């Protein structure tokens, strides 16, 4: 009686490693990631509660004791400085997180394994190249999304607790705060991960793949900053030549309004209330007022969601490109061998 040989599919299912293999292989990076997220989360919770409360109390003391320009006034300056310092460090670290993810993905997760042949060895052990890449992307995607998403949520809660209560609190449209308060930071991190995958598959060397991923995140963030104000209709406010510009929020455009309603560049003379000589300049330009196009705080989530969608589309395109390139590069030797045999 002849025993039935196991099918290739069953053999691959039995022998191919899964997510557990990836977590074991990159266990140090996993521990470091958990540690970084935990430390930043603790810092943000500290800001959200005790540091915000003490800073609010210190600013209340300042307004009560120092607003009348007394020669001496006493308030808890250390609490104000401490809040500002911890805010700066935690916000800066959260801003840098997508770049850290990109560097790790390009160097350790993809570039080094392809350069040293570890990936190629895995492909001979029942793990196809496509499944190798899919596992390498899916597991870190879950971990990066969960960790970065938690930090972004805590940052938003922390910032909201001090908004309007702390005189030196950052505005919602401050560049670093704008992103660390919303999902664009998560999207930047996923772009770094996908960029590392493409860089590793394309260049197959550690340092070039790292550079490729970092450059991709930096370029994506720069383009997102440039495009964000234009992804949602802004609000335009027109003011008199004496009043100057008015409107607080994320700026889009500004200049002069002519008698015909046209928008022209501002020569930079200033409002006529401060510089009476500017009236002649504006008369020559047929200007009747200033205009300011900006986004108020009510536009925050539309801007965040549209920008996040755009950045995630970039991340998806990078990931798809990595799959296509890997499939082509690993299929070529098979086709060539088959043609030679014929």
pLDDT at site 294:
96
Residue whose tokens read 């969960």 = 146
Instruction: Please give the DSSP secondary-structure letter assigned to residue 269.
Output: -
Residues 271 and 244: beta-carbon distance below 8 Å: yes
Instruction: Please give the DSSP secondary-structure letter assigned to residue 107.
Output: I
Task: Give the Cα separation of 274 and 241 in Å (integer).
Answer: 10
pLDDT at site 63:
84
Residue whose tokens read 């500004």 = 254
Reading the chain (342 residues) residue by residue, the pLDDT tens digits are 334 444 444 444 444 455 666 677 778 888 999 999 999 999 999 999 999 999 999 998 888 888 666 667 888 899 999 999 999 999 999 999 999 999 999 998 898 888 888 878 878 887 788 888 998 899 999 999 999 999 999 999 999 999 999 999 999 999 999 999 999 999 999 999 999 999 999 999 999 999 999 999 999 999 999 999 999 999 999 999 999 898 889 999 999 999 999 999 999 888 988 888 889 999 999 999 999 999 999 999 999 999 999 999 999 999 999 999 999 988 754 444 444 444
Write down the H helix ranges in the chain. 8-15, 19-25, 27-46, 52-66, 77-104, 112-116, 118-123, 129-162, 175-180, 184-203, 206-227, 278-284, 300-341
287-295 vs 250-258, strand pairing mode: antiparallel
pLDDT at site 84:
95
Buried residues in 278-307 as b, exposed as e (16+ CB within 10 A): beebbeebebbbbbbbbbeeebbeebbebb
pLDDT at site 1:
35
pLDDT at site 2:
37
Residues 186 and 99: beta-carbon distance below 8 Å: no
Of 55, 54, 53, 75, the residue nearest 64 (C-alpha): 75
Residues 322 and 133: beta-carbon distance below 8 Å: yes
Strand partners, 236: 293
For 103, list phi and psi in degrees, rounded to 5: -65, -45
End-to-end CA distance of the chain: 36
Quick one: CA dihedral 281, 283, 287, 289, positive or negative? positive
């Amino acid at each position: 009686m002849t025993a039935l040989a196991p099918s290739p599919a069953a053999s691959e299912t039995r022998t191919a490693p899964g997510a557990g293999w990836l977590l074991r292989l990159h266990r140090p990076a996993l521990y470091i990631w958990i540690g970084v997220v935990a430390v930043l989360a603790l810092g943000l919770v500290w800001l959200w509660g005790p540091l915000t409360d003490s800073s609010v109390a210190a600013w209340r003391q300042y307004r009560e004791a120092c607003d009348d320009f007394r020669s001496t006034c006493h308030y808890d300056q250390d609490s104000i400085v401490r809040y500002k310092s911890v805010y700066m460090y935690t916000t800066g670290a959260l801003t840098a997180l997508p770049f850290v993810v990109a560097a790790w993905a390009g160097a350790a997760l993809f570039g080094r394994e392809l350069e040293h042949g570890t990936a190629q060895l895995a492909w001979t052990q029942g793990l196809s190249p496509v499944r190798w890449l899919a596992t390498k992307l899916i597991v870190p995607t879950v971990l990066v999304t969960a960790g970065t998403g938690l930090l972004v949520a805590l940052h938003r809660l922390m910032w909201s607790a001090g908004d309007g209560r702390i005189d030196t609190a950052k505005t919602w449209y401050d560049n670093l705060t704008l992103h660390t308060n919303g999902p664009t930071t998560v999207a930047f991190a996923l772009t770094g991960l996908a960029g590392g995958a493409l860089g590793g598959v394309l260049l197959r060397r550690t340092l070039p793949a790292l550079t490729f991923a970092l450059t991709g995140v930096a370029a994506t963030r720069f383009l997102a900053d440039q495009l964000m104000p234009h992804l949602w209709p802004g609000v335009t406010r027109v003011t008199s030549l004496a009043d100057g510009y008015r409107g607080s929020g994320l700026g889009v455009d500004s200049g002069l309004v002519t008698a015909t309603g046209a928008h022209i560049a501002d020569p930079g003379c200033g409002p006529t209330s401060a510089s009476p000589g500017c009236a002649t300049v504006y008369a020559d330009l047929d200007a009747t007022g200033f205009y300011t196009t900006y986004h108020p705080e009510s536009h925050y989530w539309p801007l965040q969601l549209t920008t996040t969608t755009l950045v995630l589309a970039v991340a998806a395109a990078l990931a798809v490109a990595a799959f296509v390139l890997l499939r082509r590069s690993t299929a070529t030797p098979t086709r060539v061998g088959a043609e030679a045999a014929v």
